[in-house]
Amino acid sequence: YSSKDLTGIEYIDSYVFNKVEDIRFNSTVGKFVGYTEHGVYNAETWNKDSGILAQELGELERFCKYNAANHYSAILDKTGEQG
């Protein structure tokens, strides 16, 4: 995300094996995309399952937006003034 109001927030879940990204879920795209033969197969299978897609999209709310306030309070809202 690029602003405190969380506009443009994006959740990405990548699956990597032997340093090669096989598959990725991107909340902006709303589905899995495969980058290898195995990844394409899994993406096609997982994209047909509305439960899996809903679970991944839920991570945007459960993890990203929930923790964004902590990130701001810990890092971005600091004034940088030394006492």
Tens-digit pLDDT profile for residues 29-76:
999 999 999 999 999 999 999 999 999 988 877 777 666 767 666 555
Cβ(23)–Cβ(37) under 8 Å? no
Q: 12-80 belongs to which CATH class?
A: alpha beta
Q: Where are the alpha helices (DSSP H) in the chain?
A: 37-47, 50-59, 66-71
For residues 30 and 43, what is the distance between their CA atoms, to the nearest angstrom?
12
Neighbours of 64 (CB within 10 A): 17
For residues 81 and 36, what is the distance between their CA atoms, to the nearest angstrom?
49
The more confident residue out of 46 and 11 is 46
Which pair of tokens denotes residue 83? 């006492």
- Beta pairing class for 12-17 and 20-26: antiparallel
- pTM above threshold 0.75: no
- Residue 75 confidence (pLDDT): 58
The single-letter code of the amino acid at 63 is F
- Residue 2 confidence (pLDDT): 52
